[in-house]
Amino acid sequence: MRTYFTPGHTPTAMSEEFDAHAPFSYDPVTVADKTVVVVGGTSGIGRGIALACAEEGANVVPTSRTAERRLVLSQLPEVPTHETLEIARAHLDDEELKDEAAMAMVGVAEGLASSDRDAAVKAVKTVLDKSENDAVKDRAREALDEIQKYAGYIQDWLLAGPYTEEGKGDAELFDTVFPPEKDGAGVDWKKVHLSGAEHIVVDLDERLGGKDRVAYLHAEVWSEAERKARLELGSDDGVKAWLNSSVVHENNTNRGISPGQDETEVTLEKGWNTLLLKITQGGGNWAASARFRAVGGGKLEGLRIRPGK
């Protein structure tokens, strides 16, 4: 085998038989002195391809289907969804892949935690129950502690702003109506995912900066049933909150942030609920946080959270 061919071009070397029946034209590609990865190259047709490449002077790296699946599992945490969680779960009983599957499941759960913490906790507990690898179990325990620590906090938002009005300071801007408070048409919303040093607090000063202005944060919260809940808010400076288009809290103040410094009882409808926050800024630091808890202060089960639409 002297040449390989790629579709779309006229060949310079080709057998008469191949030329007569080829529906496409081809360019020759040599593999000499190149590194060629042959997936499935440890057996069957793949092994034949690997040997042929080696004969032509290629540096061949044959991989088994198991190696291919390991690679796929290692990439799953980059796409943390319920679907990738199930892909990892499906390999937990595979003797060759169970450790990689368990680590992938933990990684996906960490990424999924901000939107569906209950599913993330369940997944990590499954790993703890099934895995016999101490390193995997240690990793799972560490992830579980981190996931449970931020239960109820909103970590995925849409952010709009800053909004200003000539001659008005933060106290006056608190009651000034800007587009996000109306129908939202033409608002430039940007996604915010809290991680690392932020985790639960949106640093608006870092993201927007300035003084005498306001910003808006929008999220949606899914509840498994209609029920009372406690909305805990932190803000620097003032905060106004709407739940399902109704104002549920107002505090026109100038202060530093402490998560949970304001509390208000709200009613979550069954299904998706919309939360909108308006955060004012006089000067200095500028930040916000929000968390849903049970009325008594405990964990509110069955919540899912996503950025607003």
CATH of the domain at 297: 2.60.120
**Of 7 and 233, which is predicted with more confidence?**
233
Same domain, 108 and 218: no
Mean pLDDT value across residues 173-181? 96
> Residue 22 pLDDT > 60, yes or no?
no
Mean pLDDT value across residues 22-30? 51
Q: Which of 129, 149, 169 is the last residue of a domain?
A: 149
Strand partners of residue 59? 35
Can you tell me the distance from the alpha carbon of 230 to that of 241, in angstroms, rounded to the nearest whole number? 13
20 pLDDT band (50/70/90 cuts)?
very low
Same domain, 116 and 190: no
Same domain, 172 and 261: yes
Residue 11 inside a domain? The answer is no
| Residues in Cβ contact with 9 at an 8 Å cutoff, skipping those fewer than 6 apart | 25, 26, 27
Q: Which residues constitute the domain of residue 85?
A: 66-149
Mean pLDDT value across residues 117-141? 96
What pLDDT, on a 0 to 100 scale, did the predictor assign at position 145?
93
30 pLDDT band (50/70/90 cuts)?
confident
Lowest mean pLDDT: which of 37-46, 269-278, 285-294?
Answer: 37-46
Distances (CA, A) of 28 to 2, 7, 38, 59, 61: 9, 10, 19, 18, 21
Total number of domains in the chain: 2
> Residue 10 pLDDT > 70, yes or no?
no
251: which 2 tokens?
């505090």
47 pLDDT band (50/70/90 cuts)?
confident
Can you tell me the distance from the alpha carbon of 99 to that of 127, in angstroms, rounded to the nearest whole number? 10
Same domain, 144 and 166: no
Distances (CA, A) of 184 to 177, 181, 245, 289, 294: 11, 7, 12, 22, 30
Same domain, 162 and 248: yes
Q: Which residue has the tokens 């996906």?
A: 108
